[in-house]
Amino acid sequence: MPRYLVERTFPDGLTIPQDDSGAEACLNVVDGNAGHGVTWVHSYVSPDKTKTFCIYDGPSPESIRAAATTTGLPVDAITEVSVLNPYFYRA
């Protein structure tokens, strides 16, 4: 399955509480993605919490965008990516 980097902007900052409501918010995203065959792998968040760079597996960019619409998340860009592991080249 293809892997994608999804860039998002949150002008007011992304806030996910570190409690049950935050866990529920994340699970709602996972559940909303599943209906589109999309899996959220993990995300990187900028220090000011206004940008995220999320790694997703999914069948197509369109499925990633549809999942974002379902979950109410913004999408700035979707780029198909592959892993470059620097340790692969070690003898």
Mean pLDDT of the chain: 95
Place of tokens 């409501």: 21
pTM of the predicted model, to two decimals?
0.90
* Model pLDDT, residue 64: 98
DSSP letter for each residue of 10-21: -TT-----SSHH
Q: How confident is the model at residue 87 (pLDDT cuts 50, 70, 90)?
A: confident
Using DSSP, state whether 37 is helix, strand or coil.
coil
Q: Residue-wise over 24-37: b if at least 16 C-beta within 10 A, else e?
A: eeeeebeebbeebe
The predicted-structure confidence for 29-71, as pLDDT tens digits, reads as follows 999 999 999 999 999 999 999 999 999 999 999 999 999 999 9
Domains of the chain, each with CATH number or no CATH: 3-89 (3.30.70.3090)
C-alpha–C-alpha distance, residues 49 and 71, integer Å: 19
